[in-house]
Structure 1
Amino acid sequence: MTRATMLGQHILLDLSGVDTTLSCNTTLIERLLRDAADAAGATPIHAHFHPFGEGQGVTGVLLLKESHISIHTWPEHGYAAVDIFMCGTAQAMLAARCITDGLRAAHVCQRNLGRSAEKVQHPA
């Protein structure tokens, strides 16, 4: 059996009880994701964020040299879904902590996945 080549770390965050004022502010969400990338030692290369209107959510992605961070917020539910995928020396866990703290999440469900070049067996 060969050892898998780890290519990156993928973190999925389900955040509830998030600060509603923050989660509907496109400028603050972008700043938060840029701060998270910086904390992780990642390099932003492009960003796109879209507000859904006054008091509504934001969706956005920060493309990184090391992969990406994306977010979608539902202020009316106090919820945010975050996807962090980083490779190289970037530390995805530090980005996750920065975002969780920045949104003042009361509850966090975090799933960590190692991404590898190992052959994947798919169910029939």
Structure 2
Amino acid sequence: MLRDGVRCAGAHIIVDVYGGERLDDLAHIEETLKECVEVAGATLLHVHLHHFDENGGVSGVAVLAESHISIHSWPEHRYAALDIFMCGETEPQACIEVLRKAFSPSHIAVSEFLRGRGL
């Protein structure tokens, strides 16, 4: 993958969602992950989500041919942590707007790391 003129294995985007809504809604989270996959131009292989009874949080992953998107949510704190890692001809940054629309956060923090720099 070539990203910003740098050859790398893939782009790894770390997303922190603050003040988010619907972070305990399993069906909504699954649809959001699927929409992220679609807008990024990735290939979905499988989605596995687990809903915790204690706090209503959700942990899970969308496994992609190009890697993965994972989520861990703490609805009682209106917070979610997501990892978006993709290689190939994908646009992982496109997922950010999908997450904004889906969870209506007060703030999103995004960090991007190029994995396997210089391959």
What TM-score does the superposition give when structure 2 sets the normalisation length? 0.89
Contact 1:84 / 1:96 at 8 angstroms: preserved in 2? no
Distance in 1 separating the partners of 2:76 and 2:28: 17
Per-residue deviation, 1:100:
2.7
Per-residue deviation, 1:117:
4.8
Map of 1:52 onto structure 2: 52
Query: What are the ranges of 5 or more consecutive residues in structure 1 without an aligned counterpart?
Result: 120-124
Identity of aligned residues (%): 38
Contact 1:11 / 1:96 at 8 angstroms: preserved in 2? no
Q: Secondary structure at the match of 2:111?
A: strand
Which has the higher Rg, Structure 1 or Structure 2?
1
Q: 1:50 to 1:117 in 2, by over 3 A?
A: same
Q: Secondary structure at the match of 2:101?
A: helix
How many residue pairs get aligned? The number is 115
Map of 1:11 onto structure 2: 13
Distance in 2 separating the partners of 1:54 and 1:24: 11
Instruction: Write out the 4+ residue segments of structure 1 that deviate beyond 6 Å after TM superposition.
Output: none
Give me the CA root mean square deviation.
1.8
Distance in 2 separating the partners of 1:5 and 1:30: 32
Per-residue deviation, 1:118:
3.9
